Structure 1
Amino acid sequence: MAEYRLTSEEFLNGYQAQFGPISLREISDICMVSMAVPLAEEQAVQKALKAGFGIDMPDIGQSQCAAPLDSRVLRMGLDQMFVLFPRAQNIGRAEQQIKTLMKSAVYTTDQSHNWVGLEISGPGCRSALERICPIDLHPERFAIDAVARTQMEHLGTIILCVDHETYWLFSASSSAKSFLHALETSIHNVQ
C-alpha cells in the first residue's frame, strides 16, 4: 500500500504586498481553536481560563494576550471564544492542547484550516478598511485588543485590532481569493 503524507498549504501562497504605506500579508503561521462555554458553566470556564492561561475572561468584543503558547484569547460572544497561537507552539493537535490547558471545561474545535488570515497595517489602513467594514474602527471605539464579527464585501469576517494601525482579518478559507481581492481593491481606492 502506498504511503501518503498530507501537508498543509497556505491559502494565498504566503501573499505579501506593499501599497505605498499600507502593507498586506497572509497570516499563515497560527493555529485557531474555538472554545464554546457549556450551558451554565461560565464560572467554571472563568476559573479554567485563569488557571490555564493566567488571564481573566475578556469582555465580549475584546481579546487578551496570554503567556501559555504565546496565545491570544478572543471573546466573540456570551459563550464563544477563539484562541490564536503560533503554529510553532503546536506540539500535536491544536485542539487537544487547548482542551488540556482548559482542563476540558470548554468544548473545543480546531479551526486552523477553516479561516484565511490577512494582516493589514500602516498609515491609511483604517481608511481602506472603513470602505468595506460597516463597524466604527475609530481608535476610541475600536481600540487595540478589540475584536468583532462583521461583513466585508458580503464575506463574514473577524476583525481584530492588534496594534495601532495593524489589524488581523479572518474570513472563510473557501473565499480566500475574493477576500484578498476586496482588500486590495479597497486599498487602491484610498490611494
Structure 2
Amino acid sequence: MVDFTLESKAVLDGFNHDWNGTRLRELTEMAAVAVSVPKDGAAALNKKLKTAYGANAPAAGESFVGKGDARVMSFAEDQFMILFNHTAHSGVPAIEKKLGDTGYYVEQTNNWVFLELSGPLARAALERLCPINTHPDKFPVDRAERTNMEHMGAVLCRTGEDTFLIMSASSTAGSFLHALETSVEYVS
C-alpha cells in the first residue's frame, strides 16, 4: 500500500502581485456558506443573524461586515452568503453553530476563488472587464453584485475606497486571474 498525505493548496497558489501600489492578491483562508431562508422563517433567522453578526440579512445587492469580520452579502431575496476567515475545508459547521437550524446552508468555499484588487488603478482595471459602473456614486462601499468579467461569471463587492473583493468560479480561476492581470497591466 502506498503511503501518501494530501495537503490543501490555494486555488492560485496564493497569488500576490503589486503594480506600483495597485495590488491583486488571492485571499486564501476564506470560507463561503450560502444561506437560504426557510418559508416563514425570516424572523427567526434574522434574530440569530443579528446576534451572531450584528445585523439582519442585507437586501439584494447589499453587504455588511459583521462581528468577527464576516461579510454577509445578498444577491437575491431570501438568500445570502456569509464569507469569513476560516482554514477548515467546510464552513458550514461554523455557521450552524451560530445560526442553528434557522436556515438552509450550502458549502461554497471550494467553488470560488477569492481575489482582492486594491489601489489607485483598481477601478480603471475593472472598467475594462466589467459592465458594472464602479464609480463611487453608483457603486458605494458594501455594494455587491453578480456580473460577468471576460465571459466568466463573477461577484464584485466594493469593500473600501479603492478596494474590491472579486469572486469567480474556481474551475476557471487561471483564466480569470489572467484577465485581471492583463487589465491591471494595461492601465498601469
TM-score by length of 1: 0.91
Match of 1:161 among 158, 161, 167: 158
Match of 1:152 among 149, 154, 157: 149
Cα distance in 2 for residues equivalent to 1:52 and 1:104: 14
Query: What amino acid maps onto 1:77 in structure 2?
Result: A
Cα distance in 2 for residues equivalent to 1:3 and 1:40: 51
| Corresponding position of 2:43 | 43
Cα distance in 1 for residues equivalent to 2:146 and 2:3: 41
Task: Name the SS of the counterpart of 2:49 in structure 1.
Answer: helix
1:51 deviates by 2.6
- Counterpart check, 1:20 vs 2:20: yes
Whether the 8 Å contact between 1:119 and 1:169 is mirrored in structure 2 is: yes
- Counterpart check, 1:120 vs 2:117: yes
Give the share of equivalent positions with the same residue, in percent.
Answer: 38
Distance 1:74 1:128, change over 3 A: same
1:190 deviates by 1.6
| Corresponding position of 2:92 | 95
1:140 deviates by 1.1
Whether the 8 Å contact between 1:53 and 1:101 is mirrored in structure 2 is: no
1:185 deviates by 1.2
- Counterpart check, 1:177 vs 2:174: yes
CA RMSD of aligned residues (A): 1.8
1:189 deviates by 2.0
Task: Name the SS of the counterpart of 1:60 in structure 2.
Answer: coil
1:68-87 matches, cutoff 5 A:
69-87=68-86
Structure 1 unaligned regions, length at least 5: none
- Counterpart check, 1:105 vs 2:116: no
Whether the 8 Å contact between 1:27 and 1:119 is mirrored in structure 2 is: yes
Cα distance in 1 for residues equivalent to 2:91 and 2:33: 7
| Corresponding position of 1:133 | 130
| Corresponding position of 2:139 | 142
Task: Name the SS of the counterpart of 2:129 in structure 1.
Answer: coil
Query: What amino acid maps onto 1:182 in structure 2?
Result: A
Whether the 8 Å contact between 1:53 and 1:66 is mirrored in structure 2 is: yes
1:54-69 matches, cutoff 5 A:
54-67=54-67, 69=68
TM-score by length of 2: 0.92
How many residue pairs get aligned? The number is 188
Structure 2 unaligned regions, length at least 5: none
- The runs of at least 4 consecutive aligned structure 1 residues that moved more than 6 Å come to none
Whether the 8 Å contact between 2:57 and 2:80 is mirrored in structure 1 is: no
Cα distance in 2 for residues equivalent to 1:185 and 1:52: 40
CA offset digits 1:91-120 (Å, max 9, x no partner): x84201102211211111121111011111
